[in-house]
Amino acid sequence: MIIRHDNLIGGQWRPGFSYTANVNPSDLNDVIGEYAQADTGQVHEAIEAAQAASSAWAISGIQVRADALDKIGNEILVRREELGTLLAREEGKTKAEGIGEAVRAGNIFKFFAAECLRMNGETIPSVRPGITVEVTREPVGVVGIITPWNFPIAIPAWKVAPALAYGNCVVLKPAELVPGCAWALAEIISRSGIPAGVFNLVMGSGRIVGDGIVNHPGINAISFTGSQGVGAQIALSCANNLKKVQLEMGGKNPQIILDDADLNIAVELSVQSAFYSTGQRCTASSRLIVTEGIYQRFIEATIARMSKITVGHALTAGTDIGPVSSKSQLDQDLNYVDIAKSEGGRLQTGGERVKLATDGFYMAPALFTDTTTAMRINREEVFGPVASVIRVKDYEEALAIANDTPFGLSAGIATTSLKYASHFKRHSQAGMVMVNLPTAGVDYHVPFGGRKGSSYGPREQGTYAREFFTTVKTAYTLP
């Protein structure tokens, strides 16, 4: 029996005006459930419910908020196996990756539970005698949260948890492809003790639900993660309506491998961050920039390592890489393989659709060599298991090419040289820099975000999240 899942509006589970099937990309015959599609009217109702709950929640006690967030975090952690399995089933990550993501989401709620108790301000002497100046932080109000499909529970968690911790009300719209994890999270939040209307879930399309949230006057701030094209439209709309906005977008992350790198480490971290999670991470390394002295050994070892990767059903033990998440993403990945070939890239391995026992969107990870920084394959985000190698003379050329991109999310270097590692940390034009570590894979308690076309607005996560989710008040008192 296929179960229907409704929207959460003002504390009530409300049927959608229609439902869509959530289909497993590892097995297109497996329907996970049907999920409500909100219409514009329901979007407005959710925003009005959040507005109505806003003033009381803004001044709610910090212990109340801390307890609720801690409860949510604990339940996610206890249910990690079940939630990780749901995630793998709807998004296509392996079960181990899905469980890891669920754990991350649980830890994020627990981190922000503790942050509720650290809402300190400042008292500053005035330049005028007898006056005291206090600087405090207050909630922004009602926050619209719009999330992508590739981290179905972690991204909603890392936006919703700080929003609630700092006293905001939330209207969450998850990606159409992965409503299951967002619905499960909403269900957990609905039993956490948080008052009705403080958190609302509206599922549906970007065009109706996403746009309805962005353009509603009752929304005070938008936190968005997704593609650059949609992000840019949202930024324009927020600028026109003077709303606070935070955007996390795509990447074309470079991984430099220098002659002095440990070959095993260089190969492992490149393969991990280029191809695991099916290359569908905004922090995936899609450009491997390799210096001449190690080039041949690196290519041979990488191809050998890639031959050991098992592409399979996300829930099958032994699978390293699950399917691509959707038909349209698979078409995009295969199209970029054709583009790279037509530009003169040499396909060393993979790049084709794989047929398995279940009908899913499987693809063999693709490695291109003989590519240059001007090629589309090195400039545009593919967002799949496709990486290209650029051969360079030395560190200086590698750094210049690493920075030669419209994006700036994450960047890595594999080297045993302190001199080059230190120089790269300072001169990389990315928001996150990794030395002898994959470009993907970050901690949950420190700032996350990029530069250039990858990010816009204040950083997410860690204590830095409060820059976006609070507004500063300066109060002067003459006793």
Question: Which positions are catalytic?
Answer: 248, 282
Instruction: Give the C-alpha separation, 208 to 36, whole Å.
Output: 13
Residue of 20, 74, 85, 227 interacting with ligand NAD (CB under 6 A): 227
251 contacts ligand NAD (rule: CB under 6 A): yes
Contact flags string 421-460 toward ligand NAD, x per CB under 6 A: ---------------------------------x------
Task: Measure Cα distances from 197 to 47, 174, 222, 273, 386 in Å.
Answer: 9, 17, 17, 39, 43
Least distance in Å: CB of 229 to ligand NAD?
7
Instruction: Give the C-alpha separation, 241 to 316, whole Å.
Output: 48
Size of the site for ligand NAD (CB under 6 A): 29
Least distance in Å: CB of 214 to ligand NAD?
5
Q: Is 67 helix (H, G, I), strand (E, B) or coil?
A: helix
* C-alpha Rg value of the chain to the nearest Å: 23
- Between residue 189 and residue 218, which ones bind ligand NAD under the rule CB under 6 A? 206-207, 210-211, 214
- Between residue 279 and residue 298, which ones bind ligand NAD under the rule CB under 6 A? 282
Instruction: Give the C-alpha separation, 434 to 440, whole Å.
Output: 9
43 Cβ neighbours under 8 A, 6+ residues apart = 171, 202, 204, 208, 209, 212, 213, 216
Contact (CB, 8 A) for 73 and 80 = no
DSSP 283: T
- Between residue 382 and residue 421, which ones bind ligand NAD under the rule CB under 6 A? 383, 409
Q: Tell me the H-state helices in 226-291.
A: 228-240, 263-275
Nearer to ligand NAD, 204 or 312 (CB): 204
- Between residue 127 and residue 166, which ones bind ligand NAD under the rule CB under 6 A? 146-151
Q: Is 288 helix (H, G, I), strand (E, B) or coil?
A: strand
Least distance in Å: CB of 329 to ligand NAD?
8
Question: Across 243-374, where does the E strand assignment appear?
Answer: 244-248, 253-257, 285-291, 346-349, 366-369
Label residue 434 left, alpha or beta by phi (over 0 means left) and psi (-120 to 50 means alpha). Answer: beta
Nearer to ligand NAD, 33 or 144 (CB): 144
Query: What tokens appear for 260 in the block?
Result: 């002095």
60 contacts ligand NAD (rule: CB under 6 A): no
- Tokens 């009602």 correspond to 142
Least distance in Å: CB of 120 to ligand NAD?
28
Least distance in Å: CB of 93 to ligand NAD?
13
Query: What tokens appear for 118 in the block?
Result: 């650290």
Contact flags string 323-362 toward ligand NAD, x per CB under 6 A: ----------------------------------------
Stretch that binds ligand NAD, among 87-95, 171-179, 264-272, 385-393 (CB under 6 A): 171-179
| Amino acid identity at 52 | A
Stretch that binds ligand NAD, among 123-131, 162-170, 180-188, 245-253 (CB under 6 A): 245-253
Least distance in Å: CB of 257 to ligand NAD?
23
Label residue 351 left, alpha or beta by phi (over 0 means left) and psi (-120 to 50 means alpha). Answer: left
Beta bridge partners of 185: none
- Sequence length of the chain is 479
Nearer to ligand NAD, 365 or 384 (CB): 384
91 contacts ligand NAD (rule: CB under 6 A): no
- Tokens 């439902």 correspond to 19
226 contacts ligand NAD (rule: CB under 6 A): yes
Nearer to ligand NAD, 183 or 298 (CB): 183
Least distance in Å: CB of 336 to ligand NAD?
13
Residue of 225, 277, 369, 373 interacting with ligand NAD (CB under 6 A): 225
Stretch that binds ligand NAD, among 49-57, 161-169, 219-227, 436-444 (CB under 6 A): 219-227
Of the candidates 82, 75, 145, 156, the one whose C-alpha atom is nearest the C-alpha of residue 110 is 75
Nearer to ligand NAD, 180 or 250 (CB): 250
42 Cβ neighbours under 8 A, 6+ residues apart = 7, 9, 14, 16, 17, 202
Stretch that binds ligand NAD, among 34-42, 88-96, 168-176, 301-309 (CB under 6 A): 168-176
Site residues (vs ligand NAD, CB under 6 A):
146-151, 173, 175-176, 206-207, 210-211, 214, 225-227, 230, 233-234, 248-251, 282, 381, 383, 409, 454
